[in-house]
Amino acid sequence: MGAGHAHRLYRSGNSPVHRLPPHCKLAAVFAFVVVVVSTPREAVWAFGGYAVLLAGVAATARIPAGFVLRRLLIEIPFVAFAVLMPFVAEGERTEVLGLSLSVSGLWGAWNVLAKGTLGVAASVLLAGTTELRELLLGLQRLRLPAQLVQIASFMIRYGDVITDEMRRMSIARRSRGFEARGVRHWGVLAKTAGALFIRSYERGERVHLAMVSRGYTGTMPVIDDVTASRAQWAHAAALPAAALAVCLIGRTL
C-alpha cells in the first residue's frame, strides 16, 4: 500500500494485525462492538474481559498503551455527559460521599462509559493498524455503497489541494492588508468561502471530464482487489468470538 496517506491515527508497523486484510478487520471490529453493546450493563466483569481482549490485540499489534489512551481523549464529551447522569436522573437515590445520586443514573453512566470506551478503543486499534486507503478498499469490499467510498477517496485526494487553495487565498487577502478581526470582517470571509466553493465545484467538473476521457462510466474500476484467505478470516474472527464467549458466560452467571 502507498506510503503516502499516513493519517494521524495510523501507526505503521508490520505486525500480524497490520497484515490482516482491511475488510476482515472492519467486520471483526463491527461484530465486537455489537457484542459489547448488547451485553447487559449489570455484567460488570464481562466488560473487564473485553478490555483484556483489546489489550491482547494491542499487544499483538505492538501498539503501546499510551498511544491508545491518548487517542481515547476524543471520548471526553461523552464522559462529561455520563458524569452528569447520576445527578439528573430520576428514581431511587443513594448516598455516595455525602452526595445524593440516582441509582439508575449511576448504572446509565457506567453503561455509557464502559461501552463507549470499549467501542472507541476498538476503533482506535483498527485505525492504528490500517491505512486510510486500505480502509476504503475494505469498505468497498464489504459492499458499502460505491458512491460513499468514492466521495471519501476524493476527499483524501483533494483535501490537500483544497487546503492549499485556501491558504493561497488567505495569503492573497493578507497581502492586500486584510486581517480577519471580529464580526465586521465575516463578510469577507464568507465571500472567500463562496469563491472556494466555486473553485472546488469547477475542479470537480474538470476532474469528471478527465475521468470520462479515460473510460469512466459511473463505477470505479477494480484496481486492487483485496482478498482474504480462510485463515485470515479466522484470525480476525478471534476477537469477536472471544467477546461473544465472555458475553454468554457473563449472562449465565
Partner 1 sequence: MTSTPPPSLDVTGLAFAYPDGHQALFGVDLTVGRGERVALLGPNGAGKTTLVLHLNGILGGGVGTVRVAGLPVDKRNVAEIRRKVGIVFQDPDDQLFMPTVREDVAFGPAAAGLRGAELDERVRTALDRVGMAGFADRPPHHLSFGQRRRVAVATVLAMEPEILVLDEPSSNLDPASRRELADILRSLDVTVLMVTHDLPYALELCPRSVVLSEGVIAADGPTRDLLCDEELMRAHRLELPFGFDPRTVPAI
CB of 128 to partner 1, least distance (A): 20
Query: What whole-number distance in Å separates Cα of residue 157 and Cα of residue 134?
Result: 14
Q: What is the dihedral of CA 83, 85, 86, 89, to 10 degrees?
A: 170
The cell numbers describing 93, all together, are 437515590
- Closer CB to partner 1, residue 6 or residue 84? 6
The residue among 221, 244, 27 whose CA lies nearest residue 130 is 27
CB of 15 to partner 1, least distance (A): 20
CA distances from residue 214 to 27, 44, 140, 208, 211 in whole angstroms, order as listed: 34, 57, 21, 10, 5
CB of 229 to partner 1, least distance (A): 17
- Closer CB to partner 1, residue 62 or residue 203? 203
- Closer CB to partner 1, residue 42 or residue 160? 160
- Closer CB to partner 1, residue 154 or residue 197? 154
Query: What whole-number distance in Å separates Cα of residue 17 and Cα of residue 24?
Result: 10
CB of 133 to partner 1, least distance (A): 5
Binding footprint of partner 1 on the chain (CB under 8 A)? 1-5, 133, 153-154, 156-158, 160-161, 203, 206-207, 209-217, 221-225
Q: Taking the chain, what is the end-to-end CA distance rounded to the nearest angstrom?
A: 46
Give the 3-state secondary structure of residue 101: strand
- Closer CB to partner 1, residue 167 or residue 174? 167
CB of 200 to partner 1, least distance (A): 12
CB of 2 to partner 1, least distance (A): 4
- Closer CB to partner 1, residue 66 or residue 215? 215
CB of 176 to partner 1, least distance (A): 24
| DSSP designation for 221 | P
Q: Which residues contact 107 (CB under 8 A, 6 or more apart)?
A: 41, 42
Query: What whole-number distance in Å separates Cα of residue 2 and Cα of residue 121?
Result: 25
Q: Which residues contact 28 (CB under 8 A, 6 or more apart)?
A: 236, 237, 239, 240
- Closer CB to partner 1, residue 42 or residue 224? 224
The residue among 74, 73, 85 whose CA lies nearest residue 112 is 85
